[in-house]
Amino acid sequence: MATLPLFDDDNQGRKRRGPKKGISKPLPYCDLDLACWKEYPEVDTDSLWVLKGRAKGDGHKLDYHGNFIPQIATQIFTRYSKTGDIVLDMFLGSGTSAIEAVNMDRRCVGVELKENLAQHVRGKIPRDKLGSEIRIIQGDSASSETVTDVKKTLQAMGAEHAQLLMLHPPYADIIKFSDLPEDLSNAESTDDFLKMFRRVAKNGYDLLEPGRFAALVIGDKYAAGELVPLGFLCMQQMNDVGFKTKSIIVKNIEGNEKGKGKSNNLWRYRALAGGFYIFKHEYVMVFRKLE
């Protein structure tokens, strides 16, 4: 393999020699080897992800509203975790992170507020993985009690911290997931939603190993005829608790929604009449906890 055309930090464009063929140059936070950087065509490094549809099989299925697509977990796990690492998902939902952790030889600690949903996800996990490599906690991710439970679980798995943090909160009140007051989808205002999310982000920050990464999957909303930029508002909360923003990815979700046909025409009419645009995307925001 030819040497890599890398540049010095002084930005003067002077080339320096990259790794020679056969010399491994692993990254400290994932299994990718920069000496073989051309051999990962499946790894997307663009900031726009246009996907044809939701991946199916390997344990994944669309059996719950609001869950994120498996391809996001695949890409994020590949870029920011190693085999055997622990992924902490603080909004586990229907278990995308847990299922993909099984598929990709990662471990996972998932926190889910709703007991019946947590139990449903436990039924999706192979018996030889559940309770050992995959552990599901029912609790409120914003509470100190749940943090204590996660710490105990990590210790039982031989770790002090998780190596990757996944956050896929409700998009405020767009979908009501429960009647529980701790549920972010029941926040009375955007400000209340952000305060609740900030507590989760701070807990996640404290539970994440220094130097490792977090991914936030989030979208925006309209309310009272106005765009509410939830994505960027949540990004600010992440920054405020200590995370540094690494990248913002825009993912096209067309083809991932239900209710096409006449309802699509209705939304197109409403968009024309109201002067807005129909959401066809959401954000995957990547952050790092510095050393």
pLDDT tens digits for 185-203? Answer: 999 999 999 999 999 999 9
Q: Which domain does 24 fall in, by range?
A: 1-41
Other beta carbons within 10 angstroms of residue 41's beta carbon come to 6
Answer yes or no: do 12 and 56 share one domain: no
Answer yes or no: do 18 and 142 share one domain: no
Phi and psi at 154, nearest 5°, equal: -60, -45
In the chain the first and final C-alpha atoms are separated, in Å, by 33
pLDDT band at 64, cuts 50/70/90? low
Answer yes or no: do 18 and 109 share one domain: no
Answer yes or no: do 5 and 148 share one domain: no
C-alpha Rg value of the chain to the nearest Å: 20
Answer yes or no: do 37 and 84 share one domain: no
Answer yes or no: do 18 and 87 share one domain: no
Assess contact for 63 and 94: CB atoms under 8 A.
yes
CATH number, domain with residue 156:
3.40.50.150
pLDDT in tens, 224-259: 889 999 999 999 999 999 999 999 999 986 554 444
Domain count, the chain: 2
pLDDT in tens, 45-57: 999 999 876 666 5
